[in-house]
Amino acid sequence: MEQQEQVTLSPKLIFQKLIYTKDLVLKNWWLILILVGIGTAIGYYVDSEKNKRVQYLSKIVFNVSGNSGAAQELGGFGSLIGMGAPRGDAGLFTGENLFYIIKTRPVLERALLANVTLANGKKELFVNYYLDSTFIREDDWGDFLSEWLTVRIEHNKRDSMSKLERQVFDGVLTKIRDREITIGQPNLKTAFYDLSVSMENEMVSKIFSELLLSTVERVYQETQTRKSREMLGIMKRRVDSLGAVLNRTESRLAQTTAINVEAVAPMAKVAEGRLTRSTTFVTSLYLEASRSLENLQMSIVKESPLFTIVEPASLPLEPKLFTRENTKFGAILGFIVAIIFVLAKQTYSEALRDMKKK
């Protein structure tokens, strides 16, 4: 029975293998250099095709502040109408959740369908401004989607668009979301975020970065103050109802007082007293509800400055021809493939020699 040779792994054997691999790599340096060059060239080609135009980088550094104090203030107003303190969904806009929220379809649709004022004073949907000021029609659709080249978005709601309008709109949204927006946190020790927009037109890039951030801020405020606004609606209806009751009571009191000027019957004075007490009571309720409504409106206003811009985007923007991520990846991948090929080639050669000896 043949006994299998046992190999003991020792530091000496490890160093011998490393030296052997180093010598093998140096011996086949020309092959490794060729494969690395091929991988680099392929990556460079992908980068150049992916970014044919000069991109302008618009970057905004901002901070998201909380509103726990305002929520505590609203707790008192909630008790007036039998509701607890309103709670927003601040967790949706913190940490990595914010990275996802900014790129969601509802947020991007709202930003793309917002009106912007152009240099000539004309108002236009941003999606049309983007279509007219970038090369998306020529570079992305020109070769195979000729029917998209003249389409403009005529409606500010996606549900009202025609099928062709929705296709064009979705094409713009997909490109912006996947290739032109990045959101990150430059330093994990701080609470700052940076929103970067990279587009082919300098003004379009700057305007959209500011528009997108303001859209996210409005969505955040609406989410954060949803219960507060519900309370505000209830309080407005209560004030209107009390106002109507007060008007009717005051009218009846005025009529009764005018009739009782010449009246001598005691029952007339009793009715006037009852109406006076009712008017006084309704007036106190109306004033209290009005004060609560005003305080609730002021508290909602206090919640508005949720986003603080630390570093705004300013012209001129930083231009960049194209990124080199694929070029670097191609070089690394070519080097790895070259090492594997050299080792496999040497192992195959040694196996053939061993077979010939036998």
Omega cis (within 30) before 186: no
User: Would residue 29 be called left, alpha or beta, if left means φ above 0 and alpha means ψ between -120 and 50 degrees?
Assistant: alpha
pTM passes above 0.85: no
CATH for the stretch 52-225+305-320 = 3.30.1890
Q: If you average pLDDT over residues 228-247, what whole number do you get?
A: 73
Residue type, 32: I
CB atoms within 10 A of CB 85: 16
Q: Tell me how far apart the alpha carbons of residues 107 and 333 are, in angstroms, rounded to a whole number.
A: 37
CB 45 within 8 A of CB 176: no
Q: Tokens representing 124? A: 């236009």
Q: Tokens representing 257? A: 């007082």
Q: Hey, is 261 helix, strand or coil?
A: coil
Q: Tell me how far apart the alpha carbons of residues 317 and 60 are, in angstroms, rounded to a whole number.
A: 11
Range from 72-86, 184-198, 249-263 carrying the lowest mean pLDDT: 72-86
Q: Tell me how far apart the alpha carbons of residues 357 and 266 are, in angstroms, rounded to a whole number.
A: 136
List Cα–Cα distances, 260 to 137, 264, 270, 276, 283, in angstroms. Answer: 83, 8, 10, 13, 23
Q: If you average pLDDT over residues 116-130, what whole number do you get?
A: 87
Q: Tell me how far apart the alpha carbons of residues 152 and 127 are, in angstroms, rounded to a whole number.
A: 9
For 48-96, how does the pLDDT look when each residue is reduced to its tens digit (9 = 90+)? Answer: 666 667 888 899 988 877 544 444 444 444 444 444 444 444 455 566 7
- Residue bearing tokens 């036998």: 358
Q: Hey, is 190 helix, strand or coil?
A: coil
CB 206 within 8 A of CB 180: no
Asked whether the predicted pLDDT for residue 320 surpasses 70, the reply is yes
Residues counted in the chain = 358
Provide the pLDDT for residue 129.
Answer: 92
Best CA proximity match to 340, nearest among 17, 18, 14, 35: 35
CB 148 within 8 A of CB 135: no
Range from 70-84, 119-133, 188-202 carrying the lowest mean pLDDT: 70-84
- Cβ-in-10-Å burial (0-12, 13-18, 19+) of 193 comes to buried
Indicate the Cα dihedral angle 28, 33, 35, 37, nearest 10°. -170
* pLDDT cut 90: percent of the chain above it: 8
Can you say whether the dihedral through the CA atoms of 347, 351, 352, 353 is positive or negative? positive
Provide the pLDDT for residue 301.
Answer: 66
